[in-house]
Chain A
Amino acid sequence: MAGPSTYEPKGAVMRWMDTRLPIVRMGADFMTFPTPRNLNYWWTFGGILLLCLMIQIVTGVILGMHYVAHIDHAFDSVQRIRRDVPYGWLMQSAHAVGASMFFLAVYMHMFRALYYGSYKAPREVLWIIGCLIYLVMMATAFLGYTLPWGQMSFWGATVITGFFGAVPVVGEGLQQWLLGGYAVDNATLNRFYSLHYLLPFIIAALSGLHVWALHVTGSSNPIGVSSKVKTDTLPFHPYFTVKDMFAVTVFLIIFAFFLFYLPDALGHADNYIKADPLKTPPHIVPEWYFLPFYAILRAVPDKLAGILLMLGAIAVLFVLPWLDTSRVRSMRFRPIARWFFFFFVIFCFILGWCGAGVPDDYAIKIGDGGITFYRLGQISTLYYFAYFIVILPILGLIEDPVERPASITQAILDYGDKPEPEKVLVPAE
Chain B
Amino acid sequence: MRFAVDTGGTFTDLIVEDDDNGLHMYKASTTPGDPINGVLDSLKLAADDFGLGLDALLAKGDLFIHGTTHAINAIVTGNTAKTAFLTTEGHRDILVFREGGRMEPFNFTVPYPQPYLPRALSYEVPGRILSDASEMAPLDEGRVVEILKELKSKDVEAVAVCLLWSIINSAHEDRVGELIEQHLPGVPYTLSHVLNPSLREYRRASSAAIDASLKPLMSAYMHNLTGRLSDAGFGGRVLIVTSQGGMMDAVDVAEHPIHLINSGPSMAPVSGRYFAREDEGSDTAVIADTGGTTYDVSLVRRGRIPWTRETWIGQPYRGHMTGFPSVDVKSIGAGGGSIAWVDDGGMLHVGPQSAGAVPGPSCYGQGGDKPTVTDASLVLGYLDPEFFLGGSMGLDLEAARGAIERDVAKPMGIGLEDAAAAIIAIATENMVQAIVDITVNQGIDPRDAILIGGGGAAGLNSTAIGRRLGSERVVIPEVGAALSAAGAMMSDLHSQYTRTFFATSEAFDAAGVNQILDGLEARCNAFINGPGAGSISQTIEFFAEARYPEQVWEIEVPLASPRFESDADVAALVEEFHKVHEDIFAINDPESSIEVVGWTASVKCLLKETESGSLAAAEEAASADGTRKVYFAETGYVDATVRRFEAMKAGETLPGPAIIESPFTTVVVDPGATAERRESGSVSIVPGVAPAAK
A and B co-occur in one complex: no
